[in-house]
Chains A and B, each alone.
Chain A
């Protein structure tokens, strides 16, 4: 017997419920107004071209570590994902854990930026941001947290400027770009990258969106909207959904030359693994990374498979390498309730321990803030 038995009266009820939710929800949808993202107060401390370096403000009276943490986000999406809403903010939770958090917002490159290269981003923008922070804090080196493509940039930066990085944290960062389960990599091998960049100049965000949505087209362009109908009646849930929707489609164009180099050096040549990535005059050798490294990956990551990330183990020159696995996906690692209670404390704990080891008794009390009787934040 066919194991499908949708009774006519049940079908009618489901249709009726769907209509009701849609009808009521449209009110909420229209009342939703401007979708706010990036909720933690911050100040711009440095600007250059389209880039802004922000420093996040901790709550009054909160203790902050001596060594600031600079977040280097990917170019392909907007960095407010790390601070998307009050109860889902990696930044806010890092502040609560005693970190002094800076973040590079790359802005939206336009045609005038199409000639920017990886050298300009890594030895230029990132290096100058690091210098600004070092000067502000009178430090020789700071902590670096690279996310996704920003993690690959951070690896390159640290390998080339090890003296300026005290501790390196990489999050959902591709290292081996040719693992068998890396769908993006398989697809990109057949793209004529020179034709693409020479023709388009900057690579449009729409093309990247299409690529990401093509990874799971039925869930991401179909089922998602059925799920949304279920959320429509709850104003708060609807706003959360709309924030994510905004982030997904808020894709800056990619500076053409940087994109060309990134695809060729990382995806085509698997340069981090093969030691062939050329940034300006230098070749990136991961063995030049000698500071402590914390590598965080997501177990169900469909964009950067865990194997692509875990490939970092044994490839740096560091004697202090740790991994943290998160039971979730590429996006969930910043925004899920579980991530809020696991990732920032893990980062702060790891940094605090290194600070204590490095500075001895002086550093005591600068590690993660102890929470008295406080459960995981949601």
Chain B
């Protein structure tokens, strides 16, 4: 065994034996071949569970991402390995692709209920990125709470939310109701955003069919999981790239971001109210001060520049006045000098005379 805490070559051999034993046990137990990828994933997870305590926290995120993508990669290959042989032989992969399509729907409708989907989990990536962003924006872990649903209860949230506040706390009630209404708006926008991607998942399957058709016509075969994965990424990126250029997507995405910011704004208003009751500086006050300070800084700079310009101007004017005087009466300086000399000479003579007394 090597002294490396996280890895040694023996591990490959142990893992291989583990797969073989697992597969053998599975065959005996259920009378069918178990998923090699699933077994590999379990082995990978066991390994990471064993070594991760020794790894710093910062490495967990990176490793998690790499492992998750690795799982996607091999699940994808296995999806096609499990294709109906008759289906594959005939060249009509409708069954296989229909199965994958159903997988998309299942994946996207599970909405994070713990069922990590197969290859179609890929289409959760944009949604997952958005959730990560929302979490970083929100004070609430995991993002915003679920909106109010009216399904099947006869309860009309719009009507409820439009009811006026009453009594001494009516302002506060109104703000809380507004917040609930805005969270509901956000949920609707998010739903529309998710639906957009669910459609794209289906389109990407259709596009993959075309891509595979091209391979078949060229007499080429995809013979590695990695190559299949790269093709799938390129396909998804292509479909995504086309659709997110549409005006519809810009509208959906804009609605989502604006809805989120409106919720954030309402939170801010309510937090400011609370700060005000504690006689603490509010965000609004700070913003006013920041603006004023910046205005003052600009004014000071402008005044500095004006003073500098005036100094330069007055210096230049003084210099040019001197120059002008010299130029205008060139003899005057000599005359003055001559006068000064005369006076000096007279003084000297007088002094000498005085000395002689």
Contacts and interface: CB of A to CB of B under 8 A. Distances in A.
Given A19-B44, A115-B290, A221-B129, A3 B78 contact: no
B66 interface: yes
A200 interface: yes
A8 B6 CA distance: 27
Contacts of A189: 250, 254
Interface residues of B, number: 95
Interface string B333-354: 0000000000000000000000
B81 A210 contact: no
Nearest to A23: B7
A interface, by DSSP: helix, strand, loop or mixed?
helix
B303 interface: no
Interface stretch (A24-32, A81-89, A148-156, A325-333): A24-32
Contact of B291 (A115, A218, A228): A115
Given A22-B70, A111-B290, A195-B265, A204 B136 contact: yes
A19 B80 contact: no
A225 B73 CA distance: 11
B254 A217 contact: no
A184 B68 CA distance: 29
Interface in A222-277: 222-223, 225-226, 228-229
A14 B74 contact: yes
A12 interface: yes
Nearest to A115: B294
B225 A11 contact: yes
Contacts of A225: 62, 65-66, 68-69
B16 interface: yes
A189 B251 CA distance: 9
A190 to B, nearest CB: 2
Contacts of B230: 223
A6 B6 contact: no
B221 interface: yes
B208 to A, nearest CB: 10
B53 interface: no
B331 interface: no
Contact of A183 (B4, B78, B244): B244
Contacts of B241: 216
A5 B241 CA distance: 28
Interface residues of A, number: 61
Interface stretch (B89-97, B144-152, B314-322): B89-97
Contact of B73 (A30, A120, A124, A226): A226
Contact of A199 (B72, B255, B264): B264
B interface, by DSSP: helix, strand, loop or mixed?
helix
A3 B222 contact: yes
A30 B55 contact: yes
Interface in A11-45: 11-12, 14-16, 18-20, 22-24, 26-27, 29-30
A223 B287 CA distance: 42
Contact of A8 (B36, B80, B265): B36
A212 B215 CA distance: 32
Contacts of B220: 3
Nearest to B67: A22
A113 B208 CA distance: 49
A219 B56 CA distance: 26
B55 A190 contact: no
A65 to B, nearest CB: 30
Contacts of A222: 69, 72, 122, 125, 233
Given A14-B225, A200-B264, A26 B63 contact: yes
Contacts of A221: 125, 128-129
A16 B15 contact: yes
B222 A190 contact: no
Contacts of A24: 4, 6-7
B214 to A, nearest CB: 9
Nearest to A49: B297
B107 to A, nearest CB: 15
B298 interface: yes
Nearest to B40: A15
Contacts of B261: 192, 195-196, 199-200
Nearest to B133: A210
A59 interface: no
Nearest to A24: B7
A5 B37 CA distance: 16
Interface in B5-33: 5-7, 9, 11-12, 15-16, 19
Contacts of B62: 29, 225, 228
A279 to B, nearest CB: 13
Contact of A207 (B73, B133, B237, B255): B133
Residue among A2, A115, A190, A216 with most chain B CB within 10 A: A2
B47 A19 contact: yes
A47 B34 CA distance: 65
25 contacts: A2-B91, A3-B215, A3-B222, A4-B83, A6-B225, A11-B81, A14-B224, A22-B44, A23-B7, A23-B11, A24-B6, A30-B59, A111-B290, A114-B287, A115-B295, A186-B247, A187-B244, A187-B254, A189-B250, A191-B257, A199-B261, A204-B137, A219-B237, A225-B65, A226-B229
Interface of A: 1-8, 10-12, 14-16, 18-20, 22-24, 26-27, 29-30, 111-112, 114-116, 120, 124, 183, 186-187, 189-192, 195-196, 198-201, 204, 206-207, 210, 213-214, 216-219, 221-223, 225-226, 228-229
Interface of B: 4-7, 9, 11-12, 15-16, 19, 36-37, 40, 43-44, 47, 51, 55-56, 59, 62-63, 65-70, 72-74, 77-78, 80-81, 83, 87-89, 91, 93, 96, 122, 125-126, 128-130, 132-133, 136-137, 212, 215-216, 220-226, 228-230, 233, 236-237, 240-241, 244-245, 247, 250-251, 253-255, 257-258, 261-262, 264-265, 268, 283, 286-287, 290-291, 293-295, 298, 301
